[in-house]
Amino acid sequence: MSDSNNVSGYSNENLLEVRNLVKWFPIKAGFFKHTVGQVRAVDGVTFSIKRRQTMGLVGESGCGKSTCGRTILRLYPKTSGEIIFDGQDVSALSKSELRHMRTRMQIVFQDPYSSLSPRLPIGEIIGEAVREHGIVPPDEFDEYITRVMEACGLPEYYKERYPHEFSGGQRQRICIARALALSPEFIVCDEPVSALDVSIQAQIINLLKQLQKDFGLTYLFISHDLSVVEHISDTVGVMYLGSMVEYADTESIFKDPLNPYTKALFSAIPIPDPDVKIHRIILKGSIPSPANPPKGCKFHTRCGECMEVCKYAAPEWKEVKPGHFCACHLYNGADEQARAEETMNKIKSSDGFVEKEESAEL
């Protein structure tokens, strides 16, 4: 690996650092497919994951959490920003370097029914990449696959079977075994338990935790199930419409959520106790289109604590408490407030700006 890839200002404690990651998808129209707009799927996301830890990424569907996970793995080319994995800028890697990097970062997909090839036996599904990358010498290949399968709770005789013979939970184990076979350091888990039954969910979550302990893995755990995220994660990031709105360690974010969106999201979690009546903050409407996000703070159209300044200036990403980051005008210091008001006044006074009345939200 060339030295030019080494990034300065990188702390060795973090396995992954994402700075200002942006991923826009062009909207094409017309005969010549010219670009008419951009879907801002990920719009400036910053976070870091420490070695051997799990970061949970939560948010409503369509907020860009899956896109974020895939862009980090370079399954999508990024639009701008930095992705630093173990001291190297992932997006600057050449093809052959990326090939090597692929063995170090893997992904487990949401749907175990469509992410396994129906034509390959299990042993081949798990072993294909192992052989391709030459992880083990050919004479140890069989034994190695058996070992990986056993670690994921799959007996050896499954090797010759095909995916259709398995239930959802078993298939998800196969997906995990496939990711694990390359002995990666980092795995993106893209809603790995959403398609499974409650009791099977517990098995898979326990397996992921066990593997983390045994192999020293680092996870980015994407999910919309907040109770699962609380259980598995060390830190949690909340996304809304492509932006990170809050980031902190699990305990402090669940105990004391700061951003109004996080508060509403957490109050919506159903509690399995008929006597607990939580005060639910019901958000009006649904998530706006990421192709045309609201001006100012993106959440202001649905926020219960919306102020005048929220409609014009986007809030700054700020460390409100040690280790607890949040983007919201409610927590503005004097400096930020002044800057936000300046932006607001500038927009208000400029002629080109026509104040758009809030159209009836669907």
Partner 1 sequence: MKDQKKKKSSYISSGESRKITRFNRRVTKKFEKRREDAAKDPALYTTRMKDPNNVVEFDNVRTYFFTDVGVVKAVDGVNFEIPKKSTVGVVGESGCGKSVTSLSLMQLLQRPQGQTVSGEIRFVKDDGSAYNIVNTPNSIMESIRGNDMSMIFQEPMTALNPIFRVGDQIDEVIILHNPDMPKEDVKKRTLEMLDLVGIANKEGVYKMYPHELSGGMRQRICIAIALACSPKIIIADEPTTALDVTIQAQILDLLKNLKDKLNSSIMLITHDLGVVADMADYVVVMYAGRIVEKGTAREIFHNPSHPYTIGLMASKPVVGQKVEKLYNIPGSVPNPVKMPNYCYFRDRCEMRCDKCDGQYPPEIKIGDTHIVSCYRFIDKGEVLDYPKTVEVEDLYNE
CA contacts within 13 A on the Cβ side of 253: 32
Per DSSP, the three-state class of 46 is: strand
**Which range, of 20-28, 73-81, 202-210, 334-342, touches partner 1 by CB under 8 A?**
202-210
The verdict on 337 binding partner 1 (CB under 8 A) reads: no
- What is the rounded distance in angstroms from the CA atom of residue 176 to the CA atom of residue 152? 7
State yes or no: residue 61 binds partner 1 (CB under 8 A). yes
Q: What tokens appear for 117 in the block?
A: 């090839």
Residue from 8, 282, 351, 356 in contact with partner 1 (CB under 8 A): 282
Tell me which of 11, 35, 117, 206 binds partner 1, using CB under 8 A.
Answer: 206
**Nearer to partner 1 (CB atom), residue 78 or residue 159:** 159
Report CA torsion sign: 47, 20, 63, 41. negative
Q: Binding to partner 1 by residue 197, rule CB under 8 A?
A: yes
What DSSP state is assigned to residue 282? Answer: P
x/- contact string, 141-170, with partner 1 (CB under 8 A)? ----------------x--x------x---
**Which stretch in 2-10, 129-137, 199-207, 342-350 sits in contact with partner 1 by CB under 8 A?**
199-207
Which helix (H) or strand (E) is 84 found in, with range?
A: strand 80-85
Residue 27 interacts with partner 1 (CB under 8 A)?
Answer: no
Residue 312: partners with Cβ closer than 8 Å, 6 or more residues away = 295, 296, 340, 343, 344, 347, 348
* Dist. CA 257–CA 59, nearest whole Å: 14
Tell me which of 36, 75, 269, 307 binds partner 1, using CB under 8 A: 269
Give the integer Cα–Cα distance in Å for 202 and 199. Answer: 5
Question: 129, 226, 330, 347: which one contacts partner 1 (CB under 8 A)?
Answer: 226
Q: Which of residues 238-257 bind partner 1 (CB under 8 A)?
A: 254
What does residue 254 show for φ and ψ, rounded to 5 degrees? -80, -35
Say whether residue 361 binds partner 1 (CB under 8 A).
yes
- Cβ–Cβ < 8 Å for 105, 86: no
Contacts of 171 (CB under 8 A, 6+ apart): 112, 113, 116, 163
- Rounded to a whole number of angstroms, the minimum distance from the CB of residue 134 to partner 1 is 29
Say if residues 305 and 260 touch (Cβ distance below 8 Å).
yes
Q: Does 198 bind partner 1 (CB under 8 A)?
A: yes
How many residues bind partner 1 (CB under 8 A)? The answer is: 42
Q: Please, what is the minimum distance in Å from the beta carbon of residue 264 to partner 1?
A: 6
- Rule CB under 8 A: say whether 268 interacts with partner 1: yes
Structure tokens at 283: 């958000």
Q: Which residues bind partner 1 (CB under 8 A)?
A: 60-61, 157, 160, 167, 197-199, 201-203, 205-206, 209, 224, 226-228, 230-231, 254, 264-276, 280, 282-283, 286-287, 360-362
